[in-house]
Chains A and B, each alone.
Chain A
Amino acid sequence: MTVPGPFFRKLLLGSLLLILGAVIFLDALLTRYTAQRELRSAEADLAARAQILAGEMEELAPDQLPVWVSAARARAGARLTVIAPDGRVLADSDQRPELMENHAGRPEVQAALAGRTGSARRYSETLDRELLYWALPVKVYRSPGYVLRLAIPAEHVESAVAEVRWRILEVSLAAALLALAAAFILARSLNSRIQQLQRFAEGLVSARFDQELPVGPQDEIGALARSLNRMARQLRDMLERLRLEATRREAILSSMVEGVLAVNHELCVVFCNETFARAVRASYPVPERLPVLELVRDPVLIEALAKVLVENAPHQLRVQLAAAEGRTYQVHVAPLELAGGRGAIAVLHDITDLERLERVRRDFVANVSHELRTPLAAIQGYAETLLSGGLEDEQNRRRFVEIIKAHAARLNNIASDLLALSELESADAGPPPERVSVRDAVEAAVTAVESEAALRQVRIHRSVDTYLFVMANKIRLEQVLLNLVDNAVKFNRPGGEVWIDAARSEDGRVRISVTDNGIGIPSSDLPRVFERFYRVDKARSRAAGGTGLGLSIVKHAVERMGGSVAAESQLGKGSKFTVTLPAG
């Protein structure tokens, strides 16, 4: 059972006040009416009796009066008093006349002395009670001027009024009880419906839109319930739309390769996508209103954002972000309209790899021209020398021709390496991979460099399992190994060593590594050694007879065979190249 609430108290109070008002009104009305009615009937009664008694008195002598009065008392049913014209009491049925004061002053007696009938209701000190008096002029012994007064207790009237009052009280008590019950029932039903509404509204506040409110009777509350239901449905739809919108936007932003950062006019983060957070090594999601300086400090980016905020015009720049490990970004900054004023949005496109590729291409063109021009210039120079008289110089002409031959051979090497590279880069898949013995390939490569190694006093160690096979192209694999071992020998110190290891790794692939304890590669050059014509030490490389294409060929050939190649190196300590290929 619900506890009666304020609603109940108000309803109850209201009806009780109404009942109280009705009772006061009824009481005032009915008691007066009853009292008057009773009074009138009592007076009529007294008047009738008094007329009879007045008739009897005409025959009486004044000295007979006291006896008569006592005798008539019973017949009259009232106290009888006879008063002389001067106001003196001659006889009284209930009191000795000599004890009573002069009655000429009493209003009913005055009226009677004046020849009229008089009545009064008064408290009698003589009898110590409220009395109703009735007086009329009478004749005693045929002489007029006397007054007969009858008095009856007013209790009659009082009790009638009391009875009416009692009835009224009974009825109003019953009405009050009924009102209490009615107010309670009404309040309870209203209360429970309003509480339902309240719970529903609170549910809306905490975003529970799936509830349905029972409508109940078709009254004002029912109408309100219907509107609330309609509102909940609309809110649900709207929220669903917003959620969908947010999900879509989130999906777009998070699937973007570009980093997105939006800031407000105070340079605080409004939002940023995951790509951006990851690039600057911040945890995602980034807390809202975080000063952007706590995310990235790079002054170039910060100033670009500030500039767009001031100028309200888009802006483009290239920036290397310390926060993103020195990667390079093409950044588009544009003004952004925000609810709280102006903002700026930056879209960061990572162009580190693009820039590297661009540099590789530029370097390649420059390198090819340079690599070709050097031997061509030598050939041209010596040929011209021979033509302008060198042919007759028996001492030197053979040497000149040999130099020309050597440079021609070098051109040939470059041309065939370039051809090999372009073949590897072409879409043509080449011969299908076959099962190749790693040991055979390693032996072939070592045999090819043996004389060179002996010349440079470099020792080659190999530890290769006889039964190790890879799926590869035999000629390409031999060339890869030859290039790697050749480098290991050439970029080494006299007395250096080269180790060739091959083994099956846990993932079922075969790893072939060529390690040397030679001069090593600086870490800044290491990422670029697989680029075409990239040389760590140009003079040394050329002196060693390289074309600058060896590692490039290695990389492309290995990747063509479904493998990968990795380089590690420490400057001054040596290098390690590892080729991973599918097992055969």
Chain B
Amino acid sequence: MRHFIEELDDLQKELLAMAGLVELAVHESVESLVERSPSRAQQVLVNEARINQMEIQIDEMATRLLATQQPMARDLRFLTAAIKINNDLERMGDLAVNIVERALSLIEQPPIHPAVDIPRMAELAERMVHDSLDSFVRRDAELARNVLLSDDAVDDLRDDIYQELIQFMQAEPDAIPRAIDLLFVARNLERIADHATNIAEDALFVIQGVDVRHHAEERR
């Protein structure tokens, strides 16, 4: 039988490989929208199947280790965090697919130029995803806290975009379907950022054994 530590290492590697796929999916989903590229959008849909498959695999690995090894303390925290991060990653993959679906619809229609800064919001969300995973890998509590703090910036940006889009729809009723697509893109990005904060919280839990969930008020 293989050593428990090695199995934990393997689990982390699998999780990181999946994280890489999800990061790519999020990035490509936004790129397909910005570049109006259906082929890039298709690629995200293809990768989704792989992400789902990996989720199941990681879930099995983690559950089996939990059941057979009865881990303690830090290892136990790592395993429970891995299960949750796995779940968050899979959700992010789904959200990226949602964005791609909106992008495919927007590509079909003539471009609109409302004052919406989707790329900036996407950049922020992607950065949060990346940093939350880095904080987990490097056990970097500082970085994890930064991710928690930048969630507010994403929320503010989403509020701005909502306002702008509502004004835009009032001014140009023709563009309402397209504006709604953009609205959903913004909402999906915001939810991706929320999952990133979940991962950052799990990273903090692994590092310090502190549960930081539901203490949003103290963070501010």
Given that A291-B9, A323-B130, A523-B119 are contacting pairs, would A302 and B20 also be in contact in the complex, using a CB cutoff of 8 Å? yes
In the complex, per-residue mask of A279-292: 1 if CB is within 8 Å of any chain B CB, else 0? 00100000000010
Contact A291 B119 (CB under 8 A): no
Please tell me if B166 contacts chain A, counting CB pairs below 8 Å.
no
Contact A322 B115 (CB under 8 A): no
Please tell me if A537 contacts chain B, counting CB pairs below 8 Å.
yes
Q: Of B11-19, B67-75, B207-215, which stretch is located at the interface? A: B11-19
Least CB separation from B47: chain A residue:
A299
Which residues in window 110-132 of B have CB below 8 A to A?
113, 115-117, 119-120, 123, 126, 130
Contact of B17 among A281, A302, A520 (CB under 8 A): A302
Least CB separation from A297: chain B residue:
B20
Contact A297 B133 (CB under 8 A): yes
Contact B19 A297 (CB under 8 A): yes
**Count of A-B contacts judged by CB separation below 8 Å:** 62
A294 to B17, CA, bound (A): 9
Min Cβ gap B141→A in Å is: 15
Given that A293-B13, A293-B20 are contacting pairs, would A523 and B113 also be in contact in the complex, using a CB cutoff of 8 Å? no
Please tell me if A571 contacts chain B, counting CB pairs below 8 Å.
yes
Contact A298 B20 (CB under 8 A): yes
A461 to B151, CA, bound (A): 38
Which residues in window 491-533 of A have CB below 8 A to B?
519-520, 522-524
Query: Which residues from chain A contact B130 at a C-beta distance below 8 Å?
Result: 322-323
Please tell me if B220 contacts chain A, counting CB pairs below 8 Å.
no
Q: Of B21-29, B78-86, B190-198, which stretch is located at the interface? A: B21-29
In the complex, per-residue mask of B142-171: 1 if CB is within 8 Å of any chain A CB, else 0? 000000000000000000000010000000
Query: Which residues from chain A contact B19 at a C-beta distance below 8 Å?
Result: 297
Query: Which residues from chain A contact B120 at a C-beta distance below 8 Å?
Result: 522-524
Which residues in window 25-72 of B have CB below 8 A to A?
27, 34
A150 to B46, CA, bound (A): 133
Query: Which residues from chain A contact B138 at a C-beta distance below 8 Å?
Result: 294
Query: Which residues from chain A contact B117 at a C-beta distance below 8 Å?
Result: 522-524, 571
In the complex, per-residue mask of A533-553: 1 if CB is within 8 Å of any chain B CB, else 0? 000010000000000000000
Contact B9 A571 (CB under 8 A): no
Please tell me if A6 contacts chain B, counting CB pairs below 8 Å.
no
Query: Which residues from chain B contact A281 at a C-beta distance below 8 Å?
Result: 134
Min Cβ gap A320→B in Å is: 8
Query: Which residues from chain A contact B9 at a C-beta distance below 8 Å?
Result: 291
Contact A293 B24 (CB under 8 A): no
Query: Which residues from chain B contact A322 at a C-beta distance below 8 Å?
Result: 20, 23-24, 27, 126, 130
Min Cβ gap B93→A in Å is: 12
Query: Which residues from chain A contact B116 at a C-beta distance below 8 Å?
Result: 571
Please tell me if A444 contacts chain B, counting CB pairs below 8 Å.
no
Given that A294-B137, A322-B27 are contacting pairs, would A524 and B17 also be in contact in the complex, using a CB cutoff of 8 Å? no
Contact A537 B119 (CB under 8 A): no
Least CB separation from B31: chain A residue:
A320
Min Cβ gap B142→A in Å is: 13
Contact A537 B113 (CB under 8 A): yes
A519 to B34, CA, bound (A): 20
Contact of B23 among A291, A298, A537 (CB under 8 A): A298
Contact of B24 among A294, A298, A523, A537 (CB under 8 A): A298
Least CB separation from B24: chain A residue:
A299
Min Cβ gap B78→A in Å is: 14
Least CB separation from A537: chain B residue:
B113
In the complex, per-residue mask of A174-194: 1 if CB is within 8 Å of any chain B CB, else 0? 000000000000000000000
A302 to B120, CA, bound (A): 27
Name 8 extra pairs, CB < 8 A, besides A294-B16, A297-B17, A571-B117. A293-B16, A293-B17, A298-B23, A299-B17, A522-B119, A524-B117, A571-B116, A572-B164
Interface, chain B (partner A; CB < 8 A): 9, 12-13, 16-17, 19-21, 23-24, 27, 34, 113, 115-117, 119-120, 123, 126, 130, 133-134, 137-138, 164
Interface, chain A (partner B; CB < 8 A): 281, 291, 293-294, 296-300, 302, 320, 322-323, 326, 519-520, 522-524, 537, 571-572
Top 5 A-B pairs ranked by shortest CB distance? Answer: A297-B20, A293-B16, A524-B119, A572-B115, A299-B20
Instruction: Please name 18 pairs of A and B residues whose Cβ atoms are closer than 8 Å in the assembled complex, sorted by A.
Output: A291-B9, A293-B20, A294-B12, A296-B20, A298-B20, A298-B23, A300-B24, A302-B20, A322-B24, A322-B126, A322-B130, A520-B115, A522-B115, A522-B120, A523-B117, A524-B117, A524-B120, A571-B115
